[in-house]
Structure formats: structure tokens, C-alpha cells
Structure 1
Amino acid sequence: MSWTDERVELLKKLWAEGLSASQVASELGGVTRNAVIGKVHRLGLSGRAKTTTTAPRPRRPRNQQTSRPARTSSSSTAAPSVGATALKVESQPQSAPQPKAVKNPQADPVVVPISKRASILTLTETTCKWPIGDPGDTDFHFCGHKSESGSPYCKYHSEIAYNTGADRRRSKKAS
């Protein structure tokens, strides 16, 4: 297939009308969508009429939070269907920022003495590999306490890392 003057003029007309590259390709016949896109770019026709009739949605500032409706059934563990979660953001009142989830109160925080701190070179299979600090800082280290069998972390860090679904639901209800 070659681009004749008539086909190029038809391409320009259809593109200006707002047809998609696939629609233009099917109107022209014997040409692919990608060929239409390539020809449009070579001709410099990227600016064209918009085909959308809906008004653009107003943008929300990044720090503004939207409130979400509370789930009424706590026994359901399955994710709700897409239609069930649809809500109008405009009609929902803004709520105060929610506090962050509280760590498991049964786990005592681990204090890592300087002698226990492990570097990447001193980690073994039995040491906790929980990273502490920023890897770019000079005081970055790993926990270094004795890890639980079958886990790369000590008891405290395992409870943080392996938070079960029940724990997440419980912490959502508390906040």
C-alpha cells in the first residue's frame, strides 16, 4: 500500500474530525493503525479536535484526604466488588486525618545495642535482617538479634513484617 495524495488528504480529514488511528485505518482500508500513527507524526498532525464530550474532573490537592465509608460487615473477608465500592467523592464530607495504625501492643519494642548491630557483611542465617535507618547514612545497620527459625527476622520484627489480615482489620477499626 502506498500513500497517494488522495489517501493522505482523506487521512488528514478523518484525523481532523477526531477519529482514532484505528478508525482511520479501517476507513482507509489496507493500512494498519501503526501505519496511520506513523504517517500522522510524519505529517505533523498531532494537534487535532478532541473527541471527548465529558468535562475534565477537577483536580484535588495532594494533601487532601477523602473519607471512605465504614464497612458494615466485619465477617466478610472477601474484597468487595467494583460496583459496591463506587462512591461520589463530592458528596462525602471531609473528615479529620486518621491516626496511623498502632503497632502490635503485645510485641515489646526491640532496643538494639551497638554491640548487636549488624552490617551487611556480618549478617548470618540466624541474625535478624530488619534494616534500621537510611541505607545512605553511616549509622545504617540491621537489627542483629537472633532470628526465629524459618524467618529472617526476630520475634518483634516478624510481628511487624507478617501482619495478618485480622490484625489489619483490627487496626482499621481502632483508628
Structure 2
Amino acid sequence: MTVASGAQAVGWTDDRVELLKKLWMDGLSASQIAGELGEGVTRNAVIGKVHRLKLSARAKPTNTAPRARPAAARPAAPRRVAAPAATPISTMAPKPRPAATMPRPQVMGATALAIEPQMEAELYTAPAAAELFIPEDKRLSLLQLNEHTCKWPIGDPLTKDFYFCGQHSLETGPYCEFHSRRAYHQLEKRKR
């Protein structure tokens, strides 16, 4: 086995392996174990040895403090002061929280696509169009489609009533004239 330049091979003696097992079962992290073993043992070396030894079950980690996560910018809340020891807990009433009022839902993360109130009035909704009636003898299955037939699916694909339009398709696309208008409807440009 060759070692990359600048790295040293870890000598896993029986004593080191036993100490590794003990510290792992005590719940120490790989970094903490590497620090205990010392002499060039890295966190990755500890993780590799743990996997080769197939050590899985272990105690809860000794450091159970949750990692600090970056919090969203919030106004500073007043700090709560611990009650004196002489005050019974049952007499302490919880402070009511003021209700937060926001004019619109708070958007977390990227807000480039957030809907603003003036945009809501401009949203376009296509008018509901009636489906084209296709006689049963003109309905096609997937295997009957070709380059000249309309490939517009009609119905639920999980039922036996599912079929494709099957009318003659336009030269410019996969659909007939009716379904092309539905698929590629043009939004009317509004004058501002």
C-alpha cells in the first residue's frame, strides 16, 4: 500500500485498536478519539479503522450540544431572566407572547421569485376549454401513434379508457390544430 506524499501511515497496534474501541463505545467523536490517540492519527484514520472493524453500536456522544445553525435575521427579543430560587415554580405565570402580524407570508431562502401584491393582479389564468370529442374508432393507443398523428393524451393513463387524440398533426409539432392551441397558447401582451 502506498501512502500519498506528505501523509503518514498510522500504525494500528493492538493497544491503539483497543483504546479506539473503548473510546468509540464511550461515545467520543472521531475527532476526539484522534486527539486521544495522538501521534499523527487523524479523524479520517479513526473513521476508516472504525469501518474496517465494523464498529456500529455505541453510546450517545458525550457532546450532545446541538450545532449552531445560522438563524434568519430577527428583531432582538428581550432576554428572560431566571427566577430566583426561592420563588415556587407554580406561582410563576408565563409571559404572553405578542402576536406577530405580517402583511404577507414570510419567504425563506431565495426571494427572487417571491410574489409581490402588484404581481398577483397580473397573473394570467387560461380560460377553461372544452375537450375535443374524438369518436371511439378514431382514438389511438400508444402503439398506434406515428409521426402524422396527434399525440395529445386524453384521460387517466392508469385506466382502460385512456387514449390519444389521433387526428392529423401539424407539420410544426406533435399535436393537431386544436391541441396545439391548448399547448402553445399565446399570452396577450398587456399595455401598461
Give the number of the structure with larger relative contact order, counting CA–CA contacts within 8 Å between residues 6 or more apart: 1
TM score, norm. by length of structure 2? 0.45
TM score, norm. by length of structure 1? 0.48
